[in-house]
Amino acid sequence: MADALVLIDANNFYASCEQALDPALLGRPVVVLSNNDGCVVSRSSEARQLGIAMGRPYFQIAEQLAHHGVVVRSSNYALYGDMSQRLMSSLEPWVAELEVYSIDEAFARLPRPRGGDLSPWARELRSRIRQNLGLPIAIGIAPSKVLAKLANRIAKADSRHAGLFDLSRQADPDPWLEGTPVEELWGVGRRLGRWCRLRSIANARQLRDMASGELRAKAGVVGVRLQLELRGVSCLPLEEAPAAKRETCVSRSFSRPISELEDLRQAVASYVVRAAEKLRRQRQRAGRLTVFARTSPFAPNFFSRAAGVELPLASHDTAVLLQAALQLVPALHRPHRRFVKAGVLLQDLQPETQLQQHLLAPLPPEQQQRREALMACIDGLNRRYGTGTVQWAACGLQPDWAMRRQQLSRAATTRLDDLPTVWAR
**Under 8 Å between Cβ of 411 and 79:** yes
Q: Of 108 and 332, which has the nearer Cβ to other proteins?
A: 108
Q: Of 330 and 420, which has the nearer Cβ to other proteins?
A: 420
Total residues contacting other proteins by CB under 8 A comes to 43
Task: Please state, in angstroms and rounded to a whole number, the distance separating the CA atoms of residues 352 and 257.
Answer: 37
As to burial, measured by CB atoms within 10 angstroms (0-12 exposed, 13-18 middle, 19+ buried), residue 282 is middle
User: Residue 371 Cβ, how far from other proteins at the closest point, in Å?
Assistant: 22
User: Residue 422 Cβ, how far from other proteins at the closest point, in Å?
Assistant: 4
In the shown chain, the binding pattern of residues 29 to 68 toward other proteins, with x for contact by CB under 8 A and - for none, equals ----------------------------------------
Q: Of 82 and 352, which has the nearer Cβ to other proteins?
A: 82
Of 5, 21, 33, 346, the residue at the interface with other proteins (CB under 8 A) is: 21
Residues 88-147 that bind other proteins (CB under 8 A): 88-94, 96, 110-114, 120-121, 124, 128, 131-134
As to burial, measured by CB atoms within 10 angstroms (0-12 exposed, 13-18 middle, 19+ buried), residue 358 is exposed
Q: Applying CB under 8 A, which part among 18-26, 45-53, 270-278, 336-344 lies near other proteins? A: 18-26
Residue 26 sits in the site that holds other proteins (CB under 8 A): yes
Task: Please state, in angstroms and rounded to a whole number, the distance separating the CA atoms of residues 53 and 60.
Answer: 11
Q: Of 131 and 159, which has the nearer Cβ to other proteins?
A: 131
Residue 242 sits in the site that holds other proteins (CB under 8 A): no
User: Residue 98 Cβ, how far from other proteins at the closest point, in Å?
Assistant: 9
User: Residue 103 Cβ, how far from other proteins at the closest point, in Å?
Assistant: 15
User: Residue 127 Cβ, how far from other proteins at the closest point, in Å?
Assistant: 10
Strand, helix or coil at 398?
coil
Q: Of 110 and 390, which has the nearer Cβ to other proteins?
A: 110
Q: Which residues contact 196 (CB under 8 A, 6 or more apart)?
A: 182, 188, 202, 206, 207
Q: Kindly report the CA angle at 283 between 277 and 286, in degrees rounded to 5?
A: 70
Q: Of 109 and 205, which has the nearer Cβ to other proteins?
A: 109
Task: Please state, in angstroms and rounded to a whole number, the distance separating the CA atoms of residues 368 and 364.
Answer: 6
Q: Which residues contact 23 (CB under 8 A, 6 or more apart)?
A: none
DSSP state at residue 170: S
Name the region of 273 (left: φ>0; alpha: ψ -120 to 50; beta: rest).
alpha
Residue 393 sits in the site that holds other proteins (CB under 8 A): no
Q: Applying CB under 8 A, which part among 199-207, 342-350, 356-364, 376-384 lies near other proteins? A: 376-384
The closest alpha carbon to 27, from 53, 54, 51, 47, belongs to 47
**Under 8 Å between Cβ of 286 and 338:** no
Provide the binding-site residues for other proteins, judged by CB under 8 A: 21, 23-26, 82, 85-94, 96, 110-114, 120-121, 124, 128, 131-134, 380, 383-384, 413-414, 416, 419-425
